[in-house]
Amino acid sequence: MLKVGLVVFGVTILSFYSVYFFQIVRGRPERFEQMLMQGLALHEDALDQESASPGAIALVIVISLLLEAGYFILALTEIQILAYQIVTLCFVLFEVWHGIKAIPVMRALLHPGEFSEDLFDWRIERTAARLYVVHVLITIGLIIWSGN
């Protein structure tokens, strides 16, 4: 039953990252990044006009962190293949580092007037998107292959 949960977590993450991933594969990640920046600029404008709440973006951040943590916990506990677990732990370490690097971005999103496009390191974001998609596909493949 937990493997079904892992697949659900994986497919959810895959659905979020797949649009960006396909833009990266097509050699046009800037299209998605520009769209994201426009959306964040609209959020900033709404915060400046006090017609939006920083709580909404904080909720999205918390949900994302819980989704990713749940995925990694299930991946590490449900798939007992040493090589997979080592790769997964390396990815977890990368994501912890990525999260630490993203703290200024998250802070800026929660405080009007502090946000800037320069806060993003798109190389890291692109790498994270690639790794998530590949990891989720491997995870789902292993679950299907094992017949559970």
Query: pLDDT by residue (tens digit) across 14-24?
Result: 888 888 888 88
Instruction: Calculate what percentage of the chain has a pLDDT beyond 90.
Output: 31
* pLDDT bracket for residue 44 (50, 70, 90): low
Rounded Cα distance, 41 and 110, in Å: 12
Q: Give the rounded percent of residues in the chain with a pLDDT score beyond 70.
A: 82
φ and ψ at residue 115, rounded to 5 degrees: -75, 140
Looking at the structure of the chain, the number of domains it has is 1
pLDDT given at position 97? 95
Tokens of 38: 């426009």
pLDDT for position 76 = 95
The pLDDT value recorded for residue 113 is: 64
What is the DSSP-derived secondary structure letter of residue 116?
A: -
Altogether, the residues listed in the chain come to a count of 148
pLDDT score recorded for residue 54? 62
The parent domain of residue 60 ranges over 2-146
pLDDT, one tens digit per residue, over 80-106 is 999 999 999 999 999 999 999 888 877
Token pair for 92: 């977890």
- Rounded mean pLDDT, 63-92: 93
| Whole-number pLDDT of residue 122 | 85
pLDDT of residue 30: 85
Q: What pLDDT sits at residue 88?
A: 97
| Phi/psi at 28 (5° precision) | -130, 50
